[in-house]
Amino acid sequence: MIKRTLILKALQIALMWFGLTGATLAGEVTVAVASNFLSTAQKISDGFTADTGHQVHIVNGSTGTLYAQISIGAPYDVFLSADQERVLRLADAGKLLEGAHKPYALGGLVLYARKPGILGEDIRASLVPATTHHFAIADPELAPYGRAAYEVLSHLGLTEMIDQKAVLGANIGQTFSFVKTGNAPVGFVALSQALAVGGEWLDIPTSYYAPIAQEAGLLGFAKGNVAAKAFYDHLSSDAVTKTLTMFGYGAPE
């Protein structure tokens, strides 16, 4: 009887120790995520939390807005930008932890319509006709996908269409919302967004625009944060590569 009591007591102590250790090991990471990558980041975060116990808090916005917030001291741990430029600027400004940054995804651009029968056989036939009163595009000054769309229009000699018909979104999330809700019949959006909702779209040759290489940065606020470092490392895992493919992104080489 005494032996059994001692064994039970030892088990209780072990369980208490394990519980306290688990609580100590579990941490939190705040990730600033570009609008186009929100649903993908949520999927990645769910898998990361399931594997590690670390909790992920996502802050979502345009790349330009998040960059401005980080530049003036926003307390984020990881920045998932929709381009490379902003993260490289942060590296030059000493905002990254030990200069840590890397590409984490390659984006794709499409011309999208929520309703069938609106798109023409190509981009020109979809935008130029008088029946297309306006189209949505992310602000090229703020959003990398907007810059890519501008490059496509420039390649086709259609930049005048921006002044004539464009409805500008502050970010690619708002731009997609314009088309999804019917406020714009067509728009330049991320392939990942089109795949998530469905509809019709025209694939755009990647030769029409510079690669949309999306860069991750481990920010200075992550110093000493085990969860933040683990999340940053997780972005290079096989599990994330599978998620990227599922959501319409390419994995960086």
Statement to judge: residues 113 and 197 lie in one domain = yes
CATH number, domain of 183, equals 3.40.190.10
Residue 170 within a domain: yes
One pLDDT digit (tens) per residue for the chain, 253 residues: 444 443 334 434 333 333 333 333 579 999 999 988 999 999 999 999 999 999 999 999 988 899 999 999 999 999 999 899 999 999 999 999 999 999 999 999 999 999 999 999 999 999 999 999 999 999 998 888 999 999 999 999 999 999 999 999 988 889 999 999 999 999 999 999 999 899 999 999 999 999 899 999 999 999 999 999 999 999 999 999 999 999 999 999 7
Half-sphere exposure in the Cβ direction for 126 (13 Å, CA): 26
Check residue 62 and give its pLDDT: 85
Statement to judge: residues 217 and 103 lie in one domain = yes
Cβ neighbours of residue 219 closer than 8 Å, sequence gap 6 or more: 70, 76, 77, 78, 79, 90, 95, 96, 97
Check residue 13 and give its pLDDT: 37
Task: Number of helices (H) and strands (E) in the chain: give both, helices first.
Answer: 11, 10
Q: How many domains does the chain have?
A: 2
Q: Which domain holds residue 148?
A: 109-203
pTM tops 0.85: no
Statement to judge: residues 63 and 186 lie in one domain = no
Check residue 25 and give its pLDDT: 56
Statement to judge: residues 100 and 116 lie in one domain = no
Ramachandran category for residue 155: left, alpha or beta (phi over 0 → left; psi -120 to 50 → alpha)? alpha
Statement to judge: residues 180 and 149 lie in one domain = yes
Residue 42 within a domain: yes
Residue 241 within a domain: yes
Statement to judge: residues 102 and 120 lie in one domain = no
Residue 139 within a domain: yes
Residue 75 within a domain: yes
Residue 13 within a domain: no
